[in-house]
Structures are given as C-alpha cells and as structure tokens.
Structure 1
Amino acid sequence: MKELPGGRYTLTASKGSYVGLSYGQTRPFEPGKPLEILDAQTVEKVDFSLPRGAIITGRVLDEFGEPVADAQVAPMRSVNQGGRRRMMPSGRMSMTNDIGEFRIFGLPPGQYLISATLRSGMMMGVQSDDRSGYAPTYFPGTSNAAEAQRVSVTVGQTLTDINIALLPTRTSRVSGTAVDSQGRPLSNGMVMVMQREGTMGFMMNAGGMIRPDGTFTVNGLAPGDYMLQATVPGTLGDVPEFATAPITMTGDDITGLRLAAVKASTLTGRIVFNDPTAAASLRPPMFRPAATPKNPQDMGPMMGGGGPGRVNDDFTFEIKARPGTMVIRMMSNTPGWALKTVRVNGIDVTDDGVEIRPNEEINGIEIEMTNHQSDVSGLVTTARGDAVKDYSLIVFAQDRERWAPGSRYVRTGRPDQDGRFKITGLPAGQYYVIAVDYVEPGDATDPEFLERVRTKSMRFSLTDGEMKTMDLKMASGS
C-alpha cells in the first residue's frame, strides 16, 4: 500500500479457510492494534501469519435416525451484550446436504455450541393442518443451551461425528392482516419472523410476501419468542413503512393478528462548526447524519434505526427515522473533526437521545462538529517499570449512569506498534482508566465487570479539548 496519508490505521487479512486476523491480534475475537503511520513514513514487515481454521463435521438426524436435508447448522458463542449473556452465531454456517451432512470450516480456536435449525416448513402460504416440526436443537440433542455439550477446537483441528438429533415438536401458525399507515392492505409488503431474546439470538425463521388483500399466514413455528415484522417497500433511500409485534408461540395458533404500519418520522436541522474558518474546506457529502437506537440491543437485524440522512449544500439535513428513543450520530470522512453536541431547540440531547413518535416531524436540530477534540494517550509499564506493548485499555466514566451500551463515555483501545495508547474524542468529564491483559468482547459495557475493575483503576479528569498524557501501571492479576 502506497501514498497513505499519516494517521492511525486498522489492517486485516483473510483468506479462504484460514482464520482472518487484524494487525496485532493475538487471541480469537480480540480487536487488533492500530498502526500509527506518519506522513511519508515507510513501515515495513507488517506481516500476517494466518492460522488454518478448524473444521467441524457431522450429520443432522430426525427422531428415527434418518438424515435431515437443508438444516442450517451454526457454531454459537456466549456473548456479553450490555450485561446479558446471549448465544450468538459465530463463524460460518453450513446447510446439510441430501444425506444430512454438514461441514463448518474456517473456525477460530475456542469453545462452541453447535445448533441446528430446520426452516423448510416455516413458509408463508395457505393454512396447513400439518403440525409436525422440529425445535432449534443444540448438539447432541437439546433445546436448552445450559444442557448442550460444548465442543472445543484448536488451530487447524478437524472435529468429526458431531451428530445432532433434532427434537420433534408441535408447531403452530400465526395469521392476520397487515395494513399501511392509511389503513390499506400491504399488498406489496412482506412479513418476516425471527427469534428474539432467545439463546440463539436473532435468527431468521420465516418470511414471504403478503397476499393482495393484506392477509398473511406463517406456518411451522416451533414454541418460542419471536418478532414479527411487516414492511412495505419505499423509494430508494427512504425508510419503508413498517409494523412490528412480539409474539410467543406455545403450540397454539395465533389468528386475527393486525399489523398496522407506520411511516418513518422526519428530523431536520443544520450542521454547525466550532471553527467556521477551519471548516471552510469541508463539503456536505463528507457528512452523513443518522438516528440510531439509544440502546444497541434494540438494533435487531430487522429493526435498525433508519438510513443515513441527506445533507444539503447549506449544511441543512433531513433524516428519516423509526419511532423509539434515538441518538443522533454523525458518520463523516473528515479527519480531525468529530461530533461535539446535538441540540434540539437548544436542549442538549447528545447522550439522552430523542423520543420519536410515528410520523412525527422534529425540527430545530443542531449538530455541532468540533476540530478541538480531547484525547488521552500514554504508555503502560509493569510494576518493575518494564514497557508493556500488548494490553487492552478501558476508559470509563466515574458516573455509573454513563455505563450503558453505546455510551460515548466508555471506550476500549489497543496500543500501536510502539506500545502507545491513544483514545480520541472522549467528552469532558471524570473518568477511570485501567490497562489489563485482555478484555472479553462485550465486557467493557457490562456494569458488573466495570464495577469489579473500578477499584484497580486510576482516576483522571478531562476538560473539553484537552490532550492528556499519562503513564499507567499494568493492573495486577489481569
């Protein structure tokens, strides 16, 4: 790579059945290190040695020991999401062939649960009297993750004979009518059903087109909690009309469900700059404002928050957003500039967000960008004073109310090639900072984890635009 401008870069490498890595990554699922490059600098020997991924093979069988074709098989890992452990797909999935065989490849080393889900009977269509089906099943044959058998793989290992016996269950159907915001049938819409809040996370279960009269039927749903969503296509760039409903299937049919779609809301305002002179060279296409859920757990695959907004030549903007509590953030290709404050009619809503109602218009939004960012940088040493070049850094607010998922006041980082850390763009405030050997993905947003490391952390304060340098000692027992 040539003629890169100076800055901090993230490098990744991947190939086929090998485990993809980021520069400086030493553990599976660990973030890589940033690579600090100066203008006109040549950095050599940025080498990657990709390990061969593990392979897991086996078969999916029914209750009679017969092979099951077209079952989806997925490796699952326990992931911390805002203090809650959930089983989420991790790595490549596989579909069984005509004799029930599956082959998962390219897996990083670690422990996994292997799940199998048969979706072939979960289709939109006419009502069916067939109630036979199969529950999502973990190896070797249980629907309860706590009872499932974990499988461990090392680098390049091939693990065979992971055979899963699907659990037969009585299925049920959900049917009803979907209408748009004007009460007309969603004749060009579609319905999707996905598991929610379950041990297998968000996984697609069924979907199809709504009939011309707005009615729909989804067959073959195993007992469990689901999210049902109906959408009608919008124009390019618009957020489509949509309706959602949580449903719980217990083996009995749900009939007469009415889904009433709502229109996206409209948010309008202006982008302003703390230093208009320095901002004179900036252009509107460099900025893409967006409204996203305040709680990232509300960002399911079907839900989202809306597409990026449109910025006009005079830096006014318009965002289409879905209902809910949303925070307004800025995606930009403007090195040196960052979001400072979001105001609605003069009120700071940067972190509290905006409560958006269906089909509402919210005007008077002001997004302030700053080129006067705060940053925290430094080095980490052992108790004996030896330099440490491989660690994870956690910076988090002293105010526990700021320990929420997605908070601007909780950040993690890795050191660059020289062992120096740098966290940029923290809001002014009172903070803790700690350097530890490793942070499990998701732990930095877990209040219980932050409470445990708080007593070992160093306190510091940060003012607006301050560039603070500090040296840290590696936390003992990390």
Structure 2
Amino acid sequence: MRTFVFAALLIQASVPSRGSIEGVVKAGTTLQQFLPNARLELREGPGTPIIVRSDAGGRFIFSSLASGRYRLFLTEDGFIRQEYGQRSPNMPGVSITVAAGQQVKNVVFRLDAAPTITGSVQDQEGNPLADILVTAARRTYDFRGRPTLTAVASATTDDRGTYRIFWVDPGDYYVSAGYAPVRRSGNDDETVRATYAPVYFGGVTDPEGVRPIRVEIGREINGVDFRLRRQDLAQIFGLTMSDITRRPVAATITFIPTEDANVARYGTQSSLATGTFVISEGVAPGSYIVVGQSTSGEKLAGFTRIKVPSLPRFFLNVRLEFNRAVPVHGRMTMDSELVPDIRQSRIVLMPAEPGAPSPAAVSPLADGQFVLADVIPGEYFLTVANLPNDTYVKAARQGKTDILETPITIVAESAASLEVRLGSDGGRIDTAILDGENRAVSGARVVLVPDVVRRHRPDQYRVRTSTDDGRVTLRGIPPGDYKLFAWESIEPNAYLNADYLHNYDGVGLPVRIGPGQNGPVQLRLIPAGQ
C-alpha cells in the first residue's frame, strides 16, 4: 500500500501544474457596466483557439493552461473588437505569459461602442437604388510598402436605397458605392439591370481627390450619400488553355482590381470545359489581375494583367494560359561552423504582381534543404522569417542573381535552386519605450529602420511590440546604421513606404548596430495622430 501511494505521489509530482487566466469585461470607459456573454478567444501559436464567454457579471476564466505565451482577443456585437494590451484597433496587443501553475488575474477589458456609417444611394434622377454595394475601405500597405485600399466592411442598400455599415473600428475610411449586375438565375431571358459607375463618397473616382471620412468611437456617421450615373461596362470574352498541351482547361477565374481608383468588386467566374468564359454583365474600367486555376485534372494555374478602358460598348478578349506549378529547391547555410537549429524558420515567396497566387511557406530541414512546392511561373520576392537567435539573411542568390535586390524569376521549364546564406554576426538592442511623462508604454509598435541606402529591402527592418513593462528586444539585426521609432498607432507595413516615413524621419533615434549586444536605449513614443 505504501508503495502504491509513493508511486502515485511521484506521478502527480511529475505532471506539470496547470495555469489560468481570469478577468472581467466592462462596457465603456466611464459607465463601467459589466458585459455578459462577450466572446473571448485565447490563442497560443497556430493551434485551435480556446473560446469562453463572460458570465452574467462580466467575469471569465481560462483554466487548465499549459505554460506558454498567449494572445487574448474579445469580440461583442456593437462594440469595438479588442486584443489584450492593444493601444488602438489596428495595432497588435501584448501577449500574456503563463508560467507552470501560475494564475494570471485581473485581466480587464473596457469596451467602447463601435461606430456605424449610414446613408442612401440614388440614381441621376433622384430615385432610390436597391441592391447597391457600399464598401468602407482603409488605406493599407502591402509587404513592399505599396499603398492600396482594402475593403474592411460593406452593406447593400434596401428597397428605399438606404444602407447601414455596422460596427466598424474608429479611423479614416474611403466609402464607395457601385453595382456590377449579376443574373440571379441561369435564365438567359432574365432582364439585366442598368449598370452604374462605382464612385467614392463625394462623387469622384480618383482617390487622390477623395478625403476620407473620420469615424470616431461610438458615433453614427450619417449622410454618406451617393448619386450614381449610368455607365456602359465592358464585356469580357475569355479562353483558358494549357500552355503545355495547347488544349482548353476548365477553370475558376478571379478579377482583382490593382488600382486604388477601382472600387469595383467581382465574384469568382468559371470557364466551361471548352475553356470559354463570358462576363457579359460588364466589368468597370480599370486595371486588373486575372487569376485562373484549373478545376479538374492536372493542377494548373496562370495569371495576366488587363486594362479595361472607359469606352462605350467596349469588349475585350482575354487569353489566360496555364502552366504547371513547379517545385523550387533551395538550401540555407551559415557563414560560420556553428549552425543553430533552423527548422522553425519559414521561407516564403511573395508574388511581385499584387493579387497573384502565392505558394505555401515551408521550413528547412536540419541540413538546410527546403522545397517550395507548386510555384506558378512568374516573379517573386523572397522572405525568410523566424530565424533563430541573432542570425539574419546575409545573402541570397538564384544562380548569379542577387535575389535580395531583385525579384526571383520562376520559369516553367526549370527553376534554378535558391541559395540563402545566414549571417552569424547579427546584433541585438534593448529598448525602453516612454511617453511624454516618462511612463513605460506597452503595446507600442517599435520599428528599426535601416539607413536610406537599404530602405528598399524589407529584410533589413526589425519590428516588435513593447511588452507590459514598456520594453522590447530587437534581435538578428544586420550590422549598420539605423533609426528607431515607436508608434502608438500605425498601419502594418506603413513604415516601408518612403512617403509615409518621410513625415517622421526627424523624430527617429539614430543608432549604430554592431555584432552582439548593443544599447540599451530609451525611445520616446510617437502619439497617435501625430
């Protein structure tokens, strides 16, 4: 009996203690009413999130948690969605660290009412228009810092021509309205509605002449009205075929606008087994990436750019040639004999053409070998993430081409292997973020920007979010000259845009990074709206 009890105690002692996170949800920063039934989502890495809801008193608890770093998100109808530690809606939050057996308490969410955008849509004669899509978009930046407009919310008008876009985050929005008619059945005799040119609020199509609508916390923005004019849209006739066999291919086709001025949105189309497709209902003027993927047989894909002019009764023939996806082999090596574990690193090829299909990211094997599968021929930019310790990408080549300075070219016949060389002499720097009253700031976006000569290379930047104590460590930095910035609120990748960064260049903190440990330094927060 004593042996059994002793063994049970040993087993119990060997099982790691489980932790918990608990707190409360309150509605508003002034009324402080407890909010029941709010949805909370806890994530640790890419696995399945844990979801709970707050009780009648607004309380919540996540129990039986393994040790680790967690991110906590909250959503509730009528309120601005929020991540724990978030300083503004478009900024990342702060992770919660749970040690073995630790009970993290007093996590408080204070939710503000979400804004709403309302208005009406009429034709040129002042008649209400139903089934018009109204879209609210925000200025965003892609992985190269190129500005674009990204739709974040939408609504359709009712039979009175009115609409309501519910519960958007505070910020600046470009609101547009437009209609690309689509038959609701397969009846060819069905009447096609009149088409209307898509426009931004204010009646213009050029975003350079559009002023965004400022949406504040808890406000309802009324009077965002539109008057649309009729427009002849272009008819598109197309053929999808294999570039290998020169035979037709049944496929799905997607039209992706590439210009800020183009507020049109289109659903996925399909070609027949004969490879033909027709978009007789019309496509608005503008530039598009047309992307196609085969729906049967061998996996094929292709894309092309088209430009639709603003001309009456215009039609365009589109020929979309599909190629077989090819594997791209590569190897990752070190510039020293000491080789760290690189198996958690991620190699990504991002298409140079916005909207083009991107292959899945991969991780290298222990010996550095990797294979990117199903890469469609075209041009791509190389991105390497999650490198260990203070390593960084020192050089990368495809044959004799430096693929850190120019895109990678993938051809159908064969793709030259990629050689990625890692540097072991990367630097690191500890930074403390302070506000105007010298208080530590958590949730700030801290960005290390390289000197002007290297600013066209995203791999030279380092980005982190300050923790609860206002500190952040940036690692794996190529030695050289930099400037440090800490924003309270900034759109992702905006710092990669030269025009955007020019407005803040004078407030950056110059630092010189050498191998190993640098700093520490203190950095002043750039307040939201500055």
Q: TM-score, normalised by structure 2?
A: 0.72
| CA distance, structure 1, for counterparts of residue 413 and residue 401 of structure 2 | 20
**Could you tell me how far 1:155 is from its partner in structure 2?**
1.9
Provide the residue aligned with 2:522 in structure 1: 472
* CA distance in structure 1 between the partners assigned to 2:393 and 2:383 by the alignment: 10
Aligned-pair CA distance for 1:452: 4.7
1:261 lines up with 2:322 in the alignment: yes
Name the amino acid aligned to 1:407.
Answer: P
Quote the Cα distance in structure 1 between the aligned partners of 2:354 and 2:421: 25
- How far residue 54 of structure 1 moved from its aligned partner, in angstroms, is 1.2
Cα distance in structure 2, aligned partners of 1:457 and 1:310: 35
Question: Cα gap change, 1:376/1:46 in structure 2, threshold over 3 Å: closer, same or farther?
Answer: farther
Distance 1:129 1:243, change over 3 A: farther
Equivalent residue, structure 1, for 2:79? 18
2 CA distance for matches of 1:346 and 1:41?
52
Letter in 2 for 1:471: V
User: Which residue, out of 139, 154, 163, partners 2:201?
Assistant: 139
Contact 1:275 1:370 in 2 (8 A): no
| Equivalent in the alignment of 1:181 | 243
Alpha-carbon distance, 1:317 to partner: 2.9
CA distance in 1, matches of 2:348, 2:339: 25
Q: Which of 340, 349, 354 is the equivalent residue of 1:291?
A: 349
**Corresponding position of 1:119:** 180
Listed one character per residue, the Cα deviations across residues 90-131 of structure 1 (whole Å, up to 9, x for unaligned) are 3x2223344434221111223323211212248999899989
> Aligned to 2:226, which of 164, 168, 171?
164
Q: Aligned with 1:262: secondary structure?
A: strand
**Matched residue SS, 2:495:** helix
1:428 pairs, out of 479, 498, 511, with: 479
Matches within 5 A, 1:297-376: 298-300=353-355, 303-309=356-362, 316-319=369-372, 320-330=374-384, 340=393, 343-344=396-397, 349=402, 351-352=404-405, 354-367=407-420, 374-376=427-429
State which structure, 1 or 2, has the greater radius of gyration over its C-alpha atoms: 2
Distance in 1 (alpha carbons) for counterparts of 2:461 and 2:162: 44
Give the equivalent residue in structure 1 for 2:48: none
CA distance in 1, matches of 2:302, 2:185: 18
Listed as ranges, the matches of 1:29-108 within 5 Å are 29-35=90-96, 42-79=103-140, 85-90=147-152, 92-108=153-169
Q: Which amino acid in structure 1 is aligned with residue 246 of structure 2? A: R
| Per-residue CA distance 1:43-91 (angstroms, 9 max, x = gap) | 432322222211223333333434433322111233455666543323x
Take 1:388 and 1:288, find their aligned partners in 2: how far apart are those partners?
A: 33
The equivalences for 1:446-465 within 5 A come to 446-464=497-515
SS at match of 1:78: strand
What is the distance in 2 between the residues matched to 1:339 and 1:233?
Answer: 40
Please provide the CA RMSD for this pair. 4.0
TM-score (norm 1): 0.79
> Cα distance, 1:266 vs. partner?
2.6
After superposition, the C-alpha distances for 1:444-465 in whole angstroms (9 at most, x for unaligned) are 112234345444433333345x
Aligned partners of 2:207, 2:222: CA distance in 1, in Å? 21
Letter in 2 for 1:243: F
1:421 CA displacement: 1.8
Q: Mean Cα displacement is larger for which, 9-18 or 171-180?
A: 9-18
What secondary structure does 1:408 align onto?
helix
- Which residue matches 2:446? 393
Given that 1:342 and 1:348 are in contact with CA atoms closer than 8 Å, whether structure 2 keeps it comes out as no
For the residue of structure 2 that corresponds to 1:186, the secondary structure is coil
Q: Which amino acid aligns with 2:129?
A: V
Are residues 163 and 473 of structure 1, via their aligned partners in 2, closer, same or farther at CA, if it must alter by over 3 Å? closer
Cα deviation, residue 139, structure 1: 2.7
Q: Determine the C-alpha separation between the residues in 2 that align with 1:461 and 1:62.
A: 60
SS of residue matched to 2:76? coil
CA contact (8 A) 2:383 2:459 kept: no
What displacement does 1:136 show? 1.0
Preserved contact between residue 447 and residue 486 of structure 2 (Cα < 8 Å): yes
Structure 1 residues 16 and 272: alpha-carbon distance in aligned structure 2, compared to 1, 3 A threshold: farther
Residues 365 and 241 (structure 1 numbering): CA distance in 2 closer, same or farther, change over 3 Å?
A: same
The CA distance in 1 between the partners of 2:100 and 2:505, in whole Å, is 38
Counting aligned pairs with the same residue, the percent is: 20
CA–CA distance in structure 1, aligned partners of residues 101 and 146 of structure 2 = 46
Name the structure 1 match of 2:308.
Answer: 248
Residue 499 of structure 2: SS of its match in structure 1? Answer: helix
Equivalent position amino acid for 1:245 in 2: R
Once the two structures are overlaid, the 10-residue window that deviates more, 307-316 or 43-52, is 307-316
1:7-40 CA distance string (max 9 Å, x none) = 5x54432233321122322334233345566666
The residue type paired with residue 354 of structure 2 is: M
> Which shows bigger deviation, 189-198 or 255-264?
255-264
Q: Partner amino acid for 1:434?
A: F
Q: Find the aligned partners of 1:292 and 1:377 in 2 and give their Cα distance.
A: 31
User: Could you tell me how far 1:338 is from its partner in structure 2?
Assistant: 6.6
AA of the residue aligned to 1:229: V
